[in-house]
Chain A
């Protein structure tokens, strides 16, 4: 197991290098002169030259990449064009907000999804199963931002239970987390249900029953551990998608997260910030994948050690 984890972590190095090269090329793949792009159409030539100079755009590409990557490793993500402040200072607090939002939402998704999925599978075709699956279908088909708007309308405006916007204090996180976590919960519930139903009809479940194992133990020990294997993948993907895609929900709740920062920066052509955001999202994505793989391995020892 330890060997497996170490190997997986070492395998991340080329992946992360690839990611950094891609993010770096972002600047250079965009048509036109990056400095011109940043400065805008009507910028005077000496401004552009100045920008080129400050970005080191006149150096050969490998040198530029080296400057970039050694900066990144030391936590220097460049300087924001808009605010002229270090990008790291700009991105970090927002990243933390988005990360919190994603983590809470994923926890909600996993908890609700597993619970609903198990109940559904164990009582297949019962009223609770049918109800859960209908609710899940709704949860899945409702756009996050729309659910967010509805939640604000009912629970913030009408009932006044929670603040309608912002990200301060425990009360403020409830509505955004529900609106972001619901779709994931629905996906996980459906996944858990079908996975559990598949597992429950397996021969080894019959073996466990023939041993005199209690029904509850069969469900939570023998069946669930097998059924979790596909669910873990979905939960991981879910988390990654939330991190990158919380933009609309952040806007609805006026949360100052990375989604908003990213969109604003794209509009403002603040390329260093865009770069940093994408780099962070990509790195977290890769790390989440690592966690998923390790949990996989933990759940299912059959996975080849050399993978």
Chain B
């Protein structure tokens, strides 16, 4: 990798053990987060995005368990840390914001009390200094009249305001990495754009790295530098954002792009990916995408492809890009001209 990376996730595996069965929610996930950049993680619902994110901070609850892999943060494997050491990382060097601003703040404590908490834990700030810093943070995330907000309760704030409070809380201790799990999904479109814009500004200001989890490729295009595409608990493609949109390699990525509405196309021409995500108990043995892939061959159905380097900073998990490919050698996975207006 040509630049400094802050986080390297290697072959991360997180499973849920329910009724004697192992559900491999995250099944060998590998990606890098370059310092000061934004990595997008995209994929359909249930592909393991949230579980990957929660695994980074080790916030997985029973019956879930991280069963393997490495999470190297600035060279240290966090999975070797004990609970005490992890607590010093959480909310300090790595923070997280969640999808649901309405329920992610504690209803019985004021905004100020909740903001001061991380400052007290990680910076030892007392009530007064903490309040000053809290006001500063609220101002930073664009909350009007921040001083009066400190004494308000979450129920007195709108969804967008609460998400700003969440961001302020996450930023309290100047984290080096911010994990944002669908931070705008629950908000309406104009607020969405404002929040994304805010995150971008804050990133530039503090040289913060961000993991942006979303199922919205529009959000990826706007905010990310690199993208990991996830399918059934695995990364199927990793690339920088320009390459991904210009030259997507994995048939699943292509499917996602083709189902993205574009201004120069009619809605009817959208092609959703056929079929549905396989249920955990009927996971294909070969390529997880084979049942839905228009290019699938016998090899695809029988053997699982590895995530292979296909360029400087690009990786893809698909037989087409290997020497073993047994289908049409001339296969064109992505045809940009097919996406242009037809009339």
Are B155 and A302 interface neighbours, CB within 8 A? yes
| Segment with Cβ contacts to A, from B100-108, B212-220, B245-253, B283-291 | B100-108
Interface size of A by CB at 8 A reads 20
- B169 CB to closest chain A CB (Å) equals 7
Determine if A209 is an interface residue (Cβ-Cβ < 8 Å).
yes
Within 8 A of A (CB), among B37-88: 57, 59, 83, 87-88
Are B87 and A214 interface neighbours, CB within 8 A? yes
Are B105 and A204 interface neighbours, CB within 8 A? yes
Are B108 and A210 interface neighbours, CB within 8 A? no
Chain A residues positioned under 8 Å from B104 (CB to CB): 203-204, 206-207
B87, B92, B153: residue with the most chain A Cβ atoms closer than 10 Å? B87
Are B108 and A300 interface neighbours, CB within 8 A? yes
6 extra interface residue pairs, beta carbon distance < 8 Å, beyond A202-B103, A213-B121, A226-B108: A203-B98, A208-B106, A210-B95, A211-B117, A212-B88, A212-B89
Chain A residues positioned under 8 Å from B95 (CB to CB): 210-211
Are B108 and A299 interface neighbours, CB within 8 A? yes
B104, B106, B117: residue with the most chain A Cβ atoms closer than 10 Å? B106
Determine if B138 is an interface residue (Cβ-Cβ < 8 Å).
no
- Distance A215 CA – B122 CA, assembled complex (angstroms): 15
Are A212 and B108 interface neighbours, CB within 8 A? no
Q: Can you list 13 A-B contacts (CB < 8 A)? A: A203-B98, A204-B106, A207-B98, A207-B106, A209-B59, A210-B57, A210-B91, A210-B96, A212-B122, A213-B91, A225-B108, A301-B108, A302-B107
Interface of A is mostly: helix
Chain B residues positioned under 8 Å from A269 (CB to CB): none
Find the B residue at minimum CB distance from A206: B59
Interface size of B by CB at 8 A reads 28
Find the B residue at minimum CB distance from A214: B87
Per-residue A-contact encoding for B90-134, CB less than 8 Å = 1, 0 else = 111001101010011111110000000110011000000000000
- Distance A300 CA – B106 CA, assembled complex (angstroms): 11
Binding site for A on B (CB under 8 A): 57, 59, 83, 87-92, 95-96, 98, 100, 103-109, 117-118, 121-122, 153, 155, 166, 169
Determine if A222 is an interface residue (Cβ-Cβ < 8 Å).
yes
- A295 CB to closest chain B CB (Å) equals 12
Chain B residues positioned under 8 Å from A300 (CB to CB): 107-108
Question: Given A202-B103, A203-B100, A214-B87, are A208 and B117 neighbors across the interface (CB < 8 Å)?
Answer: yes
- Distance A215 CA – B82 CA, assembled complex (angstroms): 14
- Distance A222 CA – B108 CA, assembled complex (angstroms): 8
Residue in contact with A212 in the complex, picked from B100, B105, B121, B166, CB distance below 8 Å: B121
- Distance A212 CA – B95 CA, assembled complex (angstroms): 9
Chain B residues positioned under 8 Å from A301 (CB to CB): 108, 153, 155
The 4 closest A-B pairs by CB, nearest first: A211-B91, A212-B90, A212-B91, A203-B103
- Distance A222 CA – B90 CA, assembled complex (angstroms): 17
- B72 CB to closest chain A CB (Å) equals 20
Chain B residues positioned under 8 Å from A207 (CB to CB): 98, 104-106, 166, 169
- Distance A302 CA – B95 CA, assembled complex (angstroms): 28
Chain B residues positioned under 8 Å from A225 (CB to CB): 108-109
